[in-house]
Amino acid sequence: GQQLNQSPQSMFIQEGEDVSMNCTSSSIFNTWLWYKQDPGEGPVLLIALYKAGELTSNGRLTAQFGITRKDSFLNISASIPSDVGIYFCAGQRYNNNDMRFGAGTRLTVKP
């Protein structure tokens, strides 16, 4: 099945900087999800978006569900060292089992 196009693949930033990453698809999704994965662990859900145009925050994280329903972005403000990890987007179409994933954005934060 088609996966999502996630960019950038990796980012190297200085502590305190803001970060932005996005996910696009040629298909429409009903739900967009953002997960973070630390090395050797499973992905942890950060933000879930259910409506086109929805903008949701979770602490320093903000995510938006694109108005076309084909894209989403995640912003992290004032990055800190523990933000290091791989961030994945995921889109769900009609059913819970019909979920597609981006290849991930690997974030490195330099103190």
Q: Which residues bind other proteins (CB under 8 A)?
A: 1, 3-4, 6, 9, 30-31, 33, 35, 40-45, 48, 50, 88, 90, 92, 96-97, 99-104
User: Which strands sit side by side in the sheet containing 55-58, from one edge to the other?
Assistant: 5-7, 19-24, 71-76, 61-65, 55-58
Closest distance to other proteins from the beta carbon of 16 (Å): 28
Cβ closest to other proteins, residue 43 vs residue 66: 43
Closest distance to other proteins from the beta carbon of 24 (Å): 13
Q: How far is C-alpha 67 from the chain's CA centre?
A: 16
Cβ closest to other proteins, residue 14 vs residue 97: 97
CA torsion, points 67, 79, 9, 104, in degrees to nearest 10? -70
